[in-house]
Structure 1
Amino acid sequence: MTQPIPTDTIWVTQPAYDRLQQELDHLRGDVRTDITAKIAAARDEGDLKENGGYHAAREEQGKTEARIRQLEDMLRRAEVGETPADDGLVEAGMIVTIRFKGDKNTEQFLLGSREFLSMDSSVDIDVYSPTSPLGVAILGKKPGDKASYETPNGNSISVEIVDAKPF
């Protein structure tokens, strides 16, 4: 039985939300000002067709504006929450250990969003979205439960929940 797909919400802790907001403020302020100054200086040099500095500054501006739009979207969809309870139920913000059917080895990952990891985190772990096929299949499950999900190519994959602990 397939669970309904969760909304497009990004679950983050308060420190992660604050870090994303600080990055957005920095890009909107100092970074935009610096790029505008670079573009103005390059324009003053004359012919823009062959002005490498101008083209580099415009490219930097495009990348910065794209990151600003991405951050605005993430913050608009963000749901700030506390670390989930250590009750074994699979939910966003949990380190989940699963075993694929027919495999003795286990796999561990964070169920959440990459933004959940703090900027200075040295944690090297895969991250799966709660809205991914695997995420949807295991949400609300507990150790010992089994779940199946369909891959993009139509194959069905079965997993067993081995453990779920807060990140």
Structure 2
Amino acid sequence: MEKVPMTQAGFVALGEELKKRQSEDRPRIIEHIAEARSHGDLSENAEYHAAKEEQSHNEGRIAELEDKLARADIIDISKLSGDTIKFGATVTLVDEDTEKKTVWQIVGEVEADAKKGRISITSPLARALIGKKKGASVEVNTPGGAKAYEITKVEWR
């Protein structure tokens, strides 16, 4: 069974999503199915089919969350330190062309969210950063072409 690396915050967030899907979404969907079923002929009942589809999606996500939580390898970032980038590091980068500064935390695949500044350990940028130190330059192949960044800060938070 392959472990799924994640931060404590990622583990908690997945647990909360699982609890909500089991205790709130599941009963609500069952109610929708029962209500739609009461409308008669199921063969042409779009409301019934939509509710069944939602149930299938929800149950699939519940199974996925249970699996990921069971295989979680929680990495305590507060115990990490040093200036070498690894899982859990929060890294400040400056684009060498535009001077634009970005901050990314390297996390597990299940908790990656670019809008929240979290990138997956398996992403091209994270793979380029792993093992590097503050002051180093990295080049990353992006869909828009090669990008060069200078690492200006490595933090553990």
TM-score by length of 1: 0.71
Structure 1 residues 103, 45: CA separation in 2 closer, same or farther (over 3 Å shift)? Answer: closer
Alignment of 1:136-147 (within 5 A): 136-147=127-138
Alpha-carbon distance in 1 for matches of 2:131, 2:50:
48
The letter for the 1-side match of 2:7 is V
Runs (5+) with no aligned partner, structure 1? 1-6, 118-123
The letter for the 2-side match of 1:100 is D
Structure 1 residues 105, 59: CA separation in 2 closer, same or farther (over 3 Å shift)? Answer: same
Q: CA RMSD in A?
A: 3.0
The letter for the 2-side match of 1:17 is F
Alignment identity in percent? Answer: 31
Structure 1 residues 116, 77: CA separation in 2 closer, same or farther (over 3 Å shift)? Answer: farther
* Greater helix proportion: 2
**Contact 2:10 2:111 (8 Å CA) reproduced:** yes
Q: Does 1:149 align with 2:140?
A: yes
Alpha-carbon distance in 2 for matches of 1:53, 1:105:
49
Higher relative contact order, structure no. (Cα contacts within 8 Å, ≥ 6 residues apart): 1
Structure 1 residues 102, 82: CA separation in 2 closer, same or farther (over 3 Å shift)? Answer: same
Match in the other structure for 1:96: 91
Alpha-carbon distance in 2 for matches of 1:137, 1:77:
26
SS at 1:142 equivalent? coil
Match in the other structure for 1:107: 102
Q: How many residues align?
A: 153
SS at 1:143 equivalent? coil
Alpha-carbon distance in 2 for matches of 1:125, 1:39:
35
Q: Does 1:23 align with 2:17?
A: yes
Match in the other structure for 1:32: 26
Q: 1:55 aligns with which of 33, 49, 58?
A: 49
Alpha-carbon distance in 2 for matches of 1:32, 1:40:
12
TM-score by length of 2: 0.75
The letter for the 1-side match of 2:94 is R
Alpha-carbon distance in 2 for matches of 1:162, 1:152:
24
Alpha-carbon distance in 2 for matches of 1:40, 1:105:
54
Runs (5+) with no aligned partner, structure 2? none
Q: After superposition, what is the alpha-carbon deviation per residue over 1:86-119, rounded to whole angstroms, capped at 9, x for unaligned?
A: 42322222221112233333221222147378xx
